[in-house]
Amino acid sequence: MPALTVEKVGGRIGAIVSGIRLGGGLDAADVAAIRAAAHEHKVIFFRDQHHLDAESHEAFGRLLGDLVAHPTVPSVDGRYALGIDNEHGGRANQWHTDVTFVPAYPAFSILRAEVIPPYGGNTLWSNTAAAYQELPEPLRVLADSLRGVHTNDYDYAAVRPNAPSAALEQHRKVFTAVTFKTEHPVVRVHPETGERTLILGNFLQKLAGFNAPDSRALIGILQSHVERPEITVRWQWRAGDVAIWDNRATQHYGVDDSDAHERTLRRVTIDGDVPVGVDGRRSVLLSPESVPEPRYGIASGASTDGEVAEKARERAAA
Ligand SMILES: [Fe+2]
């Protein structure tokens, strides 16, 4: 058995994994233990992984699945790792699940802290399986039948009130270089654990079949269950920390409260499946017709059941 230990941080979400040095050379038993811990605790934290750089971060990511690039935001140094820093309006000051504006949004995100401010800049995660389980039964039944439209075209100024307007405009231009719209079930069946989880968060624009006020009210009720402190964990970063979360069973929130101090993290994302609702209906890309390929690697969400990843492998082999 691997020598790693797993200690819970919160009652419903979060655990610290120790006794392991992350990298591309881990054996299958360690990788299986990490995957199992991520499924069980939804977000897992590793301290003191200072040895990791862009390359070994990606090499470790490949042990969990195919790496995918962000569909619109260019990567750092032409690699898969996405820069999350306060220079470029990169703080997500709102609850969200990564990249839900495309159908097969990432399965896992792996975030590595390079530079951490002297105070603030924490990240919160919420367990969306627990949020679903804790809904009153009539609300669960309703949620099972709902579909939501997610888009990357939303009000940035409201989400990042502290960002300078030029930076905000630049970020918006890059982030929405292509406007995506995807319809997801509000409740998906997790492809690995079988749990039911909620697909909500700030990319969710409206519920299909409802007028705007009803849609807003219903989303507000459901989302309020995701944000209950009892099912969240708050992480105070140190340089060298790594967080891995199951992006199919969580939302997260980056708190923008470290003033002008530098905060630099690097994120690698692992390809996910097209979500399937309780009724067996899959998510559908409404626009554009297909997810364009980014300049480097395969796009997050372009993959449908591994087809795009397969094509990328064929291209690489040719
Ligand atoms: Fe995020």
Q: Are 180 and 288 in contact (CB under 8 A)?
A: yes
Provide the 10 A C-beta neighbour count for residue 280.
Answer: 8
Q: Please count the other Cβ atoms lying within 10 Å of the Cβ belonging to residue 224.
A: 10
| Ligand 1 centroid – CA 230 distance (Å) | 21
**CA 138 to ligand 1 center in whole angstroms:** 30
- Residues 318/312, Cβ–Cβ less than 8 Å: no
Those residues whose C-beta lies under 8 Å from the C-beta of residue 51, and which sit 6 or more positions away, are 21, 23
**Domain regions of the chain by residue span:** 5-317
Residue 203: what pLDDT?
A: 94
Verify whether residue 256 is a known catalytic residue: no
Rounded CA gap, 309 and 200, in Å? 26
> For the domain 5-317, what is the CATH code?
3.60.130.10
16 C-alpha to ligand 1 centroid (Å): 20
Chain length of the chain: 318
What is the CA 303 to chain-centroid distance, rounded? 16
- Residue by residue, pLDDT tens for the chain (318 residues) are 557 999 999 999 999 999 999 999 999 999 999 999 999 999 999 999 999 999 999 999 999 999 888 777 765 555 555 666 554 444 557 999 999 999 999 999 999 999 999 999 999 999 999 999 999 999 999 999 999 999 988 755 555 556 667 666 766 676 667 788 999 999 999 999 999 999 999 999 999 999 999 999 999 999 999 999 999 999 999 999 999 999 999 999 999 899 889 888 999 999 999 999 999 999 999 988 776 665 445 555 544 444 544 544 454 555
CA distances for 295 relative to 97, 292, 316, angstroms:
23, 9, 15
Residue carrying structure tokens 């624009």: 205
pLDDT at 125: 98
Number of separate helices (H) and strands (E) present in the chain:
8, 17
Unique residue bearing structure tokens 């819970």 = 8
Choice among 35, 57, 96, 266 that is catalytic: 96
Main-chain phi, psi angles of 201, to 5 degrees: 95, 180
- Whole-number Å distance, alpha carbon 201 to ligand 1 midpoint, is 10
pLDDT of residue 305: 46
Distance (angstroms) between ligand 1 centre and the Cα of 98 equals: 5
Ligand 1 centre distance from Cα of residue 270 (Å): 13
Respond yes or no: is residue 98 known to be catalytic.
yes
Does residue 287 contact residue 181 with C-beta atoms inside 8 Å? yes
> Any idea what DSSP says for residue 311?
H
Task: Answer whether 54's CB lies under 8 Å from 60's CB.
Answer: no
The DSSP code sequence of 234-271 is: EE---TT-EEEEETTSEEEEE---STT---EEEEEEE-
**Residue 75 φ then ψ, to 5°:** -80, 170
Reply yes or no on whether 252 is catalytic.
yes
The dihedral sign for the CA sequence 14, 51, 89, 246: negative
pLDDT for res 302: 47
- C-alpha 50/C-alpha 172 separation (Å) is 32
Of 160, 267, 271, 273, the catalytic one is 267
Cα of 282 vs centre of ligand 1, distance in Å, is 23
Span from the CA of 86 to the centroid of ligand 1 (angstroms): 13
267 in active site: yes
Which residue among 30, 66, 98, 246 is the active-site one? 98
Point out the catalytic residue in the list 41, 150, 188, 252: 252
